[in-house]
Amino acid sequence: MKKQQRLVMRTTILLVLLAAIVYTIYTNFFTEKTAVAVGSTAPDFVLADLEGNEHRLSDYRGKGVFLNFWGTWCKPCEREMPYMNELYPIYKKQGVEILAVNVGEPELNVKKFAERFGLEFPIVIDRQDQVLNAYNVGPLPTTFLIDKNGEVKQIITGTMTKDDIQRHLESIKP
């Protein structure tokens, strides 16, 4: 009786493992992955900021958007945030928005970081990493330059200097 139960259990486990392997192979090789590319339309999303206000990317149509993915633990992100903050009021008046997407960290950590640097631009938290995955973001920081029509003009991976940020903000003015 025990041998028969063991055989049934082993067979069941083997079938579950086989199904998982088949599913993994199928999703990796036979499903289409649409990574955001230069020239494509930026995927729309809705995320809440630190005050609970919702930000929908499509609401920024007509403006340039500097979409920056970052984390509080990311030293390159930490270096470029003050430059972004300094340039934000200047370019906001010229029709360019900076929208910083935090990669799913606790709200308290993000708030402390924003307060420490006195950040004025909107900061939203991607709690489920859905936007991070939709944009296929790898290393942080990663920034997407989006024009007034919602088209991705450039993707920048890695830290930027103040001059770099200014040049990029200039390039997406409406």
Mean pLDDT value across residues 3-31: 74
The DSSP secondary structure of 83-114, one letter per residue, reads HHHHHHHHHHTTTEEEEEEE-S--HHHHHHHH
Model confidence at 124, pLDDT cuts 50, 70, 90, reads: very high
pLDDT tens-place string over residues 35-77: 788 999 999 999 999 999 999 999 999 999 999 999 999 999 9
Judge whether residue 31 has pLDDT over 60.
Answer: no
For residue 141, say if its preceding peptide bond is cis, omega within 30 degrees of 0: yes
In angstroms, the CA 153 to CA 105 distance is 28
Q: What is the pTM of this model?
A: 0.80
